[in-house]
A and B are shown apart, each in its own frame.
Chain A
Amino acid sequence: MLRIEIDMFSGRPNPIWIISDKAETDRFLAAVAEATGVTAKQGAGFTGLGFREVRVDLIADDEPRKRRVPQQFALASTAAKDLKASGALARRLIEAMPIRSEIQLVEHALTPLNAKLRRAILERLAEYLGDPPRIYRPKRWPPYNPLRTTIKDEKCTTCEYEVSQFNPGFWNNPTVQPKNNCYNYARNWRTDTYAQPGRAHGAQTSIMQCNTVTAAAMADGLVKRCNCLPTSEWPRRLMALVVDNQAPGFDYHWYRHQRGGFWGHKPGGGAARNVDNSNVVITNPETCDRGRYNAFCGYFYAGRSVVIN
């Protein structure tokens, strides 16, 4: 026995009927089994208004199963690999729709099966197959995390990134603090290896200048600001790089934009903080007191695919 549902209405019940004839059921399932790419997962195709798919369900637990025929599937779904062949099988089902079903369903009170309905379904199916609608995929939002917020980049408003609640306690304990540096903090990845730009990808530099550290960090996957990262890279960080250029090649330092409009950082094995060398909350890494780290190199995004070590 098969339950057939034409998924096409929004308010009233969809046209539904039961195929109880064993020979008809077997013939239809055999046709489905012989074809390839005709079935799709129910609800996987077009889900907007109008004709969407024909749903087929095997409703008895003791039906002989045919290979390659799922227990429930959709025909004429835009998710089917061969929509044309799938549509032809759907048409065959609809053309055989009973005009006065022997098996009465509650849905028939509001959606009675009749010749007019059958014609309407066939017309809509033909329109649908002639110009299949595009599948609407809702924008994937990252999972809710109360410690993170997605914000638009004020320098390039088409880009977004995530800012986190300032959480120095995570870093400032004896087992974590000495083994993680500014790069760990800015990327927000505790490696316990005193991470170095590029080291995870064999691109570490011993020359601590803007261009060399930038190249090393980009080997890890960082991208320059305003090269927007997709939501698949969530959570995305905004990082800032500076170097000590008073004695070229000495050292570099990184900052991370935090929730609340300020920047956090972790000087070497010292404590994570959100203040500069003058003890002022950092609202702009370009102008804050950075001691000897006078060269501002630029801003970068770091998505989830950025691996450091």
Chain B
Amino acid sequence: MLVELDVFSGRPNPRWELDEQRSQELRQLERRLTPAREAAPEPPGLGYRGFVYSDASGQVRAYRGYVKTPRTVLADPSFSVEKYLRDQLPAEYAELGDMIAAELTPK
């Protein structure tokens, strides 16, 4: 599974592959989520805009405690999907981890 951290404006966003085992783990996390009762927040223009990946239904964006799929919006109040993907960041982007951690707090 190809994952993109949507964060940059000028330089290309970090992208990396999740192996099959981690892809399965991500799907399991997604399956535990329940539909959100409110609309997901819109990402800002500049800065952290979430993680983007594809599942069977199409492109998915996990941003600030919500997982938006082509069919529905799932609530993820513990940021489980974003935290999982943050932990999978390739070593060359490790310095982005702290910046993402600061974003994953309830507002």
Task: Give residues in A with beta carbon < 8 Å to B.
Answer: 181-183, 194, 196-197, 208, 213, 246-247, 250-254, 265-270, 273, 275-277, 290-293
- B78 contact set on A, CB distance < 8 A: none
Q: Which residue of A lies closest to B4 (CB)?
A: A269
Smallest beta-carbon distance A198→chain B, Å: 11
- Distance in angstroms between the alpha carbons of A254 and B46 in the assembled complex: 11
Smallest beta-carbon distance A220→chain B, Å: 13
B45 partner, pick from A181, A213, A276, beta carbons under 8 A = A276
CB–CB A270/B13 < 8 A: no
CB–CB A270/B10 < 8 A: no
List, sorted by A's number, 29 A–B pairs whose CB atoms are closer than 8 Å.
A182-B9, A208-B10, A208-B11, A213-B10, A247-B95, A247-B98, A250-B99, A251-B8, A251-B10, A251-B11, A252-B11, A253-B9, A265-B45, A267-B46, A268-B6, A268-B8, A268-B13, A269-B6, A269-B13, A270-B43, A270-B45, A270-B49, A275-B45, A276-B45, A277-B46, A291-B47, A292-B47, A293-B9, A293-B46
Indicate whether B44 reaches chain A with its CB closer than 8 angstroms: yes
Q: Which residue of A lies closest to B44 (CB)?
A: A277
Indicate whether B70 reaches chain A with its CB closer than 8 angstroms: no
Counting residue pairs across A and B whose Cβ atoms lie within 8 Å, the total is 68
**By CB atoms of chain A within 10 A, which of B11, B44, B45, B98 has the most?**
B45
Give B1-22 as 1s and 0s: 1 = Cβ < 8 Å from A's Cβ atoms: 0000011111111000000000
In the A-B complex, the 4 residue pairs with the closest CB atoms: A291-B47, A291-B46, A252-B10, A267-B45
Q: Determine chain B's interface SS by DSSP, over half rule.
A: loop
CB–CB B10/A181 < 8 A: yes
Q: Which residue of B lies closest to A292 (CB)?
A: B47
- Distance in angstroms between the alpha carbons of A208 and B8 in the assembled complex: 11
- B13 contact set on A, CB distance < 8 A: 268-269
Smallest beta-carbon distance A219→chain B, Å: 15
- B45 contact set on A, CB distance < 8 A: 265, 267, 270, 273, 275-277, 291
B8 partner, pick from A197, A250, A266, A290, beta carbons under 8 A = A250
Smallest beta-carbon distance B91→chain A, Å: 16
**In residues 24-50 of chain B, which contact A (Cβ within 8 Å)?**
43-47, 49
Task: Give residues in B with beta carbon < 8 Å to A.
Answer: 6-13, 43-47, 49, 95-96, 98-99
- Distance in angstroms between the alpha carbons of A22 and B32 in the assembled complex: 104
**By CB atoms of chain A within 10 A, which of B7, B11, B13 has the most?**
B11
- Distance in angstroms between the alpha carbons of A181 and B45 in the assembled complex: 12
Smallest beta-carbon distance B3→chain A, Å: 15
Smallest beta-carbon distance B87→chain A, Å: 19
- A251-B9 contact given A270-B45, A276-B45, CB 8 Å threshold: yes
- Distance in angstroms between the alpha carbons of A268 and B95 in the assembled complex: 20
CB–CB A277/B11 < 8 A: no
- A196 contact set on B, CB distance < 8 A: 10-11
- A194-B44 contact given A268-B6, A270-B49, CB 8 Å threshold: no
- Distance in angstroms between the alpha carbons of A136 and B96 in the assembled complex: 61
Q: Which residue of B lies closest to A282 (CB)?
A: B45
- Distance in angstroms between the alpha carbons of A290 and B95 in the assembled complex: 20
- Distance in angstroms between the alpha carbons of A119 and B43 in the assembled complex: 84
Smallest beta-carbon distance B5→chain A, Å: 11
